[in-house]
């Protein structure tokens, strides 16, 4: 009961003022202690457009230098446009297989396989995956051998340890070719 009596005692004076009673002679009728408006406006002048060396292509003093990815010829490979959903690959047919190359930016190791596209009655055979460790360069490559010359295959690439961004999203983690045939 103490809690209710306390709330009622606090609410009673506020309720009486709001119900048409006249305020006490000591109450102020102005909204602010100074009697002025609640919002003040001041005239000013427009801010000038920024100028300086930064807008001429030179960073201001005190900023750290910026380094970009390597521009060596190995890093300037024209990767096929995969629509930014799949890891891009360059596939070169060789005798009885393929040489496959892709950017090293998607993990420290990869799995790659060539899946035959010929019709098979019954269950499909499990693909044989080859594990490839990424090097320190811009690209990683693997050679798949032991395939039937002229037969259709699709190359699958998997990046099981794809890093995650700061927002938790995963980088690209798989790649797939169209139908390719070894020499």
CATH superfamily of 80-118+126-180: Immunoglobulins (2.60.40.10)
Q: Among 163, 12, 174, which Cα is nearest to 84's?
A: 174
pLDDT at 22 over 70: no
pTM of the model: 0.56
pLDDT at 154 over 90: yes
**What's the rounded mean pLDDT across residues 39-59?**
64
The pLDDT, as a whole number, for residue 111 is 95
Which residue has 């460790």 as its token pair? 133
**What's the rounded mean pLDDT across residues 172-179?**
91
pLDDT at 137 over 90: no
User: Which residues share a beta bridge with 174?
Assistant: 158
Q: Among 125, 91, 113, which Cα is nearest to 158's?
A: 113
Q: How far apart are CA 111 and CA 130, in angstroms?
A: 5
User: Which residues share a beta bridge with 144?
Assistant: 98
The pLDDT, as a whole number, for residue 8 is 46
Q: How far apart are CA 89 and CA 34, in angstroms?
A: 73
Which residue has 């629509």 as its token pair? 83
- Residue 165's pLDDT band (cuts 50, 70, 90): confident
Backbone φ and ψ for 75, nearest 5 degrees, come out as -90, -5
Which residue has 């496959």 as its token pair? 100
Extended strands (E) in 52-107: 90-94, 97-103
pLDDT at 15 over 90: no
Q: How far apart are CA 181 and CA 152, in angstroms?
A: 5
Q: By mean pLDDT, which of 15-19, 41-45, 109-113 is the weakest? A: 15-19
What residue ranges do the domains of the chain occupy? 80-118+126-180
Q: Among 162, 148, 138, which Cα is nearest to 90's?
A: 138
pLDDT at 21 over 70: no
**How confident is the prediction for the chain on average, in pLDDT?**
75
Instruction: Sort residue 42 into left (φ over 0), alpha (ψ -120 to 50) or beta.
Output: beta
């Amino acid at each position: 009961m103490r809690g209710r009596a306390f709330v009622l005692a606090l609410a009673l004076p506020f309720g009486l003022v709001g119900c048409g009673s006249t305020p006490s002679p000591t109450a102020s009728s102005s909204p602010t202690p100074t009697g002025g408006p609640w919002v003040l406006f001041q005239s000013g002048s427009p801010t000038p457009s920024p100028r300086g060396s930064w807008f001429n292509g030179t960073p201001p003093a005190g900023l750290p230098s910026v380094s970009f990815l390597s521009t060596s010829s190995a890093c300037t490979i024209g990767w096929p446009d995969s629509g930014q959903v799949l890891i891009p690959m360059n596939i070169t047919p060789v005798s009885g297989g393929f040489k496959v190359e892709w950017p090293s930016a998607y993990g420290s190791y990869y799995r790659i396989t060539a899946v035959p596209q010929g019709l098979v009655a019954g269950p499909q055979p499990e693909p044989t995956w080859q594990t490839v460790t990424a090097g320190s360069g811009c690209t990683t490559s693997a050679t798949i051998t032991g395939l039937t010359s002229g037969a259709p295959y699709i190359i699958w690439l998997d990046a099981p340890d794809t890093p995650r961004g700061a927002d938790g999203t995963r980088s690209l983690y798989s790649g797939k070719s169209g139908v390719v045939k070894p020499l």
